[in-house]
Amino acid sequence: MVLIIGGMAQGKLDFARRQLGVTSWSEGAPGAADCLYGLQKAVRDLPDAAEAVRDWCETHPDGVVICDEVGCGVTPLDRADREWREQVGRLCCRLAEQAEAVYRVSCGLGVRIK
């Protein structure tokens, strides 16, 4: 599995398509495609996103997970938003541990950090 992180609208999906050969993806939830685009949306929308993503990773060992960085910037005032941000960060940490490679993308340029 490959994890790609980066700020919103920084070209993460284009990088995955160009450099990793991604041709199809599911957006905001694990699906049949070998790429999960928008992990942060899955964490917000699914009741047990961590379990759903873990199951997806087991069935897609060569898959690509793409997530917006949500931990930078101003801390949200709303408690639910802070908890969501924490859940996204913790899930990304677990995925990064398991990943074969981790890329951080900024301005469409990917840097391998693992």
Give me the DSSP letters along 17-72: HHHH-----EESS--SSSEEE-HHHHHHHSTTHHHHHHHHHHH-TT-EEEEE--SS
**Percent of the chain at pLDDT above 70?**
100
* CATH number of the structural domain 2-112: 3.40.50.300
Cβ contact 67:10 at 8 Å: no
Ramachandran bin of 75, using left for φ above 0, alpha for ψ from -120 to 50, beta for the remaining angles: beta
The SS3 call for residue 103 is strand
pLDDT greater than 90 at residue 19: yes
pTM: 0.95
Query: What mean pLDDT do residues 20-28 have?
Result: 97
pLDDT greater than 90 at residue 43: yes
Domain boundaries along the sequence of the chain = 2-112
